[in-house]
Amino acid sequence: MSAQYSTPAPRSPTILSLAQHLRQVERERPGGVADDLSPLMNQLAFAAKVLAREINRAALAAAAPPQSVQGGTNSTGDDQTRLDVYANQVVLDAFHRSTRLAGLVSEEMDELVVLSEGDRARMILCIDPIDGSSNTEINGSLGTIFGFYRRERTGPGDLTAELIEGRAPLVAAGYVFYGSGTLLVYSQGEGVRSFLLDRELGEFMMCHPDIRCPEEGDSFAANTGRLYEWHPGLQRYIHHISQRDPATRRPYSLRYSGALVADFHRCLLRGGVYFYPSDRGHAEGKLRLFYESAPLAFLVEQAGGKASDGRSPILPPRARSIHQRSSLVIGSAREVELIEKFVAEAEPKTASAWTI
């Protein structure tokens, strides 16, 4: 006798792929950002799958010198690894037939590349194809960081000027974290979600439907090797969080992986703070506004956290060039505020003395 199957009551699906989620948002918000974003996010997810496969074997490739560093130096003076160059090409290939993308800015390319002047090309993608490049050869965590900036109109125009003058606001952002699993975390302005790459299905599957960043934390991520080149307020902050006081969760633990994406992901899920201030080697900070600091600031604010340059909010990005650097303090709201308080209290009377 065959099994009797009763008709189950309709309920929201627990198994949801990224593609299904994007279609769902399109249906819920027709005619908005989602229409442009869905095909672009699917193309980005495809590029991430290709990179995840390559990154899986990056340590092996790097074991055969001199292949590892073949890239030379990028426009912001950083070494380019073979993987940086390869990843940049994967991203270009993934979007080169896109009718929705007007232009692309990458850490690995000097200038913005115009892709389409068509009447549906409203978005500009700013991307760091490989974040944490120094981890490539040691099988460490790596990431990809991206932001979609939406133009006021379509058609020919000076896209670089539109970005720098703030005429193309950030409307969606995220990162891919190549760690023990491959996670894609993103927001299009209605909360933060994560999707885990199921290699058997070849699909990004919903993992966290609504990520909230804890208000407080007990860990920090920073390259303390540069402590004595930092703003005095930051030096006093490190002293403060190193004192024992269980009531205020001190001493904090240091968790620094060499990859912003990995350290930020920990702060986003567990609470804590990541910061990269200016130092002797990086007068304006190290991280680039349009494809590192601003996209992560968009995400953390969507999740209830905060992001600043130690004094003022990162968003909206204020820049003179597409590769503009900024100091970054990001993570749990209370922890970012604590750093801002130490900086403000230590500001020398003559404001020009220290950059943060």
* Residue numbering of the annotated binding site for substrate: 131-134, 223, 256, 286
CB nearer to ligand FBP: pick between 36 and 128: 128
Nearest alpha-carbon partner for 70 in 303, 189, 61, 193: 61
- The site string for ligand FBP over 94-123 (x = CB under 6 A, - otherwise) reads -------------x----------------
Among 26, 36, 128, 203, binds ligand FBP (CB under 6 A): 128
Is residue 115 a contact partner of residue 98, using CB atoms and an 8 Å limit? yes
Is residue 131 a contact residue for ligand FBP (CB under 6 A)?
A: yes
Q: How far is the CB of 3 from ligand FBP (least distance, A)?
A: 53
CB nearer to ligand FBP: pick between 78 and 347: 78
Question: What gap in Å lies between CA 168 and CA 19, rounded to an integer?
Answer: 25
Q: How far is the CB of 78 from ligand FBP (least distance, A)?
A: 5
Q: How far is the CB of 142 from ligand FBP (least distance, A)?
A: 8
For 239, phi and psi rounded to 5 degrees?
Answer: -60, -45
Among 85, 94, 105, 132, binds ligand FBP (CB under 6 A): 132
**What string of DSSP letters covers 77-118?**
S-EE-HHHHHHHHHHHHHHTT-SSEEEEEETT-SSPEE---S
Radius of gyration of the chain (CA): 21
Q: How far is the CB of 332 from ligand FBP (least distance, A)?
A: 18
Within positions 225 to 284, which residues make up the interface with ligand FBP, using CB under 6 A? Answer: 258-260
Find out whether the peptide bond into 251 is cis, omega within 30 degrees of 0: yes
Question: What gap in Å lies between CA 280 and CA 295, rounded to an integer?
Answer: 26
CB nearer to ligand FBP: pick between 26 and 128: 128
Q: Which stretch binds ligand FBP (CB under 6 A): 90-98, 126-134, 186-194, 203-211?
A: 126-134
Residue 321, both tokens: 């060039």
Q: How far is the CB of 223 from ligand FBP (least distance, A)?
A: 4
* Burial class of residue 28 in the structure, from the number of CB atoms within 10 Å of its CB (0-12 exposed, 13-18 middle, 19+ buried): exposed
Q: Which residues bind ligand FBP (CB under 6 A)?
A: 78, 107, 128, 131-134, 223, 258-260, 286
